[in-house]
Structure 1
Amino acid sequence: MTILVTGGAGFIGSNFVLDWLAENDEPVVNVDKLTYAGNLENLATLKDDNRHLFVKADIGDYDVMLDLLKQHAIRAVVNFAAESHVDRSIHGPEDFIQTNIVASFRLLEAVRCYWNSLEAQEQQNFRFLHVSTDEVYGSLDKTDPPFLETHQYQPNSPYSASKAASDHLVRAYHHTYGLPVLTTNCSNNYGPYHFPEKLIPLCIQNALLGKDLPIYGDGQQIRDWLYVKDHCSAIRRVLAAGQLGEVYNVGGWNEKANLDVVNTLCSILDELNPRSDGKSYVEQITYVTDRPGHDRRYAIDASKLERELGWKPAETFETGIRKTVQWYLDHQSWVNNVLSGEYQTWLDKNYAGRSA
């Protein structure tokens, strides 16, 4: 048996592939388009592992995806492939529409064709697991209860709207065609191999380089933080035992304001890698103009996943963030290789025009 993972050179996808092969011997066909956030260095330890086959391809290429499904007799697809950065979706929404909606539709069509060709028992055992985000639910007020799986979809950015569309397509393919699907909606991930455009890796790297730590608005935007290894274990559990057609929220039970997250990062860096002048990294914090339509709070209620499938996160925010900071300190060569000219251009575009 073999599984197919899409977006498996990205942040969450590569962690999933690494953890999957550490947990069992079932081979992985790993498909990634290798856009700016896809990085084969994430998979360097699998270079000589014959259980891992990497294929550079676009999930929107129907013929390629169908051929891979048939050639490797795939028994499950785990779909991480997506454009996933809100700021980038504001600057250029078309890539998000093309990847998260159009390409996801073509992947579903390839999977449907393949699934229809299987024998009855193979059809019954097949799974398509779609990895989505809590951002499809919109924003919460400070006193609102966390998102349940039944929460109304209210996406507020081109990114979250495109992911909401893909969620609806997955649901429709189950109800219309009987495709055996599962959907997970996760909160903010952090951990190893995180591309440094997101808050935590960006602030770690900027701190080490002596640069400003940019905080949008007042820094009181609240997110539920989920250590990526916990997310991967949740996906494995849903894939193994989830009820077909169901949605499972995956959260870390760690609501933190962005400013509190950065203050925690600074405190850990002060301990593990003190500044040469003896001052705290906190002094590098700066406040910049907020991004348009910035959701105020996300919070995930992951009790369904714990109640029905027995999953809960292994890491607290305090243990997970310390592991994350230490990983970045230990892997500066990885970070330096990621910081390409294209990425620097993006930073200039996104932050240079924001007033303090």
Structure 2
Amino acid sequence: MNILVTGGAGFIGSAVCRHLIARTEHRVVNLDKLTYAANLDSLAPIADHDRYRFVQGDIGDRDLVLDLLKEEAVDVVMHLAAESHVDRSIDGPAAFIETNIVGTYQLLEAVRGYWSGLPTDRRERFRFHHISTDEVYGALPLDSGLFTEETPYAPSSPYSASKAASDHLAMAWHETYGLPVVLSNCSNNYGPYHFPEKLIPLMILNGLEGKDLPVYGKGENVRDWLYVEDHARALELVATRGKPGRSYNIGGHNERSNLTVVQAICDTLDRLAPMRGGGSRRELIRFVTDRPGHDLRYAIDASRIENELGWHAEETFETGLAKTIQWYLDNESWWRPIRDGRYSGQRLGVGADG
């Protein structure tokens, strides 16, 4: 099939593009605006492939999207384009509203106009896959419960609120107009090519450079961690085999507190790249002021996608983390320009004005 991936130069989007080219026969068109966290170097392994095309553009440009859909005879849209960092949404929510809500609306309208003009057989196999987050569900208590597809939405941050709104828009376009929408909500992703403002890559690179490892609060917040290549496999299944009007939760069954994650990074780095003069990187851990609205725990029940589509995570947290750290050790040419130029390596989201 011909698949349009929006936001395909971002962390998860680039993993999806690489997966589709390497492990399927689908043709991939990547539409990305190339904002600060996008990186075409993440697509270098497939950049010259004859089944891959990159187009720089904005999902909010309805005419551009419609022309691209027609030109490429698109069968599936995988919508990953989004502002995605909670801390940045606290410091500057406007971009999140514009991209995640207004941009998704414009994209849906372009897709609806294209889909409505397709022949019946192509209309029936077409899918609009909206990729979202478990953060739309709010927080869980530390000692019980999992997010299911029936969990009520209770977003806590500007980011999660914007994603919740876009989820509702996508499903409303299914209910109102019949657009064949599938939805997925995932837990925290990690892996190669991760922009170094997120917890795991930030801790890896700060640790390599001997800098402080800033942990919010007491590090008690718990997340379920999902290796990005496992997620890419799941997204392909949802996009090509998911039932219209249905949502699928995707998680790694790897709950860890933030402090436990940082300690595991320290220990793995100490084993793979010992500090000069010895010592443990755990000594670099510094507890900093917690961010506003910091949900205590997220955890996914992934039984629907496992039972209905046959997906299972292949990586444990330990194997995935080791692969991730080794990738950063081997690929300084990818992350060094980011650290030296566009990104300072500090924590955001501590109450600055938006």
Task: Give, in whole Å, the separation in 1 of the partners of 2:26 and 2:141.
Answer: 44
Matching residue of 1:82: 82
Matching residue of 2:220: 220
Matched, 1:13 2:13: yes
Task: Give, in whole Å, the separation in 1 of the partners of 2:228 and 2:58.
Answer: 24
Secondary structure of the equivalent of 1:350?
Answer: coil
Secondary structure of the equivalent of 2:75?
Answer: strand
Task: Give, in whole Å, the separation in 2 of the partners of 1:96 and 1:230.
Answer: 26
Aligned residues: 352
Matching residue of 1:154: 154
Matching residue of 1:41: 41
Can you list the C-alpha shifts for 1:243-264, whole angstroms capped at 9, x where unaligned? 1110000000010000000100
Question: What is the CA distance between 1:26 and its match in structure 2?
Answer: 1.8
Can you list the C-alpha shifts for 1:45-100, whole angstroms capped at 9, x where unaligned? 22321211100000010000000000010000001100000000000000000000
Question: What is the CA distance between 1:352 and its match in structure 2?
Answer: 9.5
**TM (normalized to structure 2)?**
0.97
Question: What is the CA distance between 1:338 and its match in structure 2?
Answer: 2.1
Task: Give, in whole Å, the separation in 2 of the partners of 1:245 and 1:256.
Answer: 32
Alignment of 1:233-252 (within 5 A): 233-252=233-252
Matching residue of 2:264: 264
Question: What is the CA distance between 1:332 and its match in structure 2?
Answer: 0.8
Matching residue of 2:29: 29
Secondary structure of the equivalent of 1:146?
Answer: coil
What are structure 2's unaligned runs of at least 5 residues? Answer: none
Whether contact under 8 Å (2:12, 2:228) holds in the other structure is yes
For the structure 1 residues 341 and 75, does the alpha-carbon distance in structure 2 shift closer, same or farther, using more than 3 Å as the test? same
What amino acid is the match of 1:350?
L
Secondary structure of the equivalent of 2:248?
Answer: strand
Whether contact under 8 Å (2:290, 2:350) holds in the other structure is no
What are structure 1's unaligned runs of at least 5 residues? Answer: none
For the structure 1 residues 202 and 147, does the alpha-carbon distance in structure 2 shift closer, same or farther, using more than 3 Å as the test? same
Alignment of 1:1-356 (within 5 A): 1-339=1-339, 341-344=341-344, 347=345, 350=348
Whether contact under 8 Å (2:21, 2:46) holds in the other structure is no
What amino acid is the match of 1:339?
R
The structure 1 segments of at least 4 consecutive aligned residues displaced by more than 4 Å after TM superposition are 351-354
Can you list the C-alpha shifts for 1:9-40, whole angstroms capped at 9, x where unaligned? 00000011001100123211100000000000
Secondary structure of the equivalent of 2:185?
Answer: strand
Secondary structure of the equivalent of 2:53?
Answer: strand
What amino acid is the match of 2:248?
Y
For the structure 1 residues 139 and 338, does the alpha-carbon distance in structure 2 shift closer, same or farther, using more than 3 Å as the test? same
Question: What is the CA distance between 1:236 and its match in structure 2?
Answer: 1.1
Higher relative contact order (CA 8 A, sep 6+): 2
Secondary structure of the equivalent of 2:286?
Answer: strand
Task: Give, in whole Å, the separation in 1 of the partners of 2:285 and 2:179.
Answer: 49
What amino acid is the match of 1:58?
D
Can you list the C-alpha shifts for 1:164-223, whole angstroms capped at 9, x where unaligned? 000000000000000001000000000010000000000000001110000000001000
Secondary structure of the equivalent of 1:104?
Answer: helix
Task: Give, in whole Å, the separation in 2 of the partners of 1:56 and 1:91.
Answer: 27
What amino acid is the match of 1:204?
I
Percent of aligned positions with the same letter in both sequences?
A: 58
What amino acid is the match of 2:232?
C
Question: What is the CA distance between 1:270 and its match in structure 2?
Answer: 0.7
Task: Give, in whole Å, the separation in 2 of the partners of 1:349 and 1:182.
Answer: 34
Task: Give, in whole Å, the separation in 1 of the partners of 2:228 and 2:46.
Answer: 19
Task: Give, in whole Å, the separation in 2 of the partners of 1:349 and 1:119.
Answer: 50
Question: What is the CA distance between 1:342 and its match in structure 2?
Answer: 3.5
Task: Give, in whole Å, the separation in 1 of the partners of 2:290 and 2:79.
Answer: 31
For the structure 1 residues 232 and 349, does the alpha-carbon distance in structure 2 shift closer, same or farther, using more than 3 Å as the test? closer
Secondary structure of the equivalent of 2:131?
Answer: strand
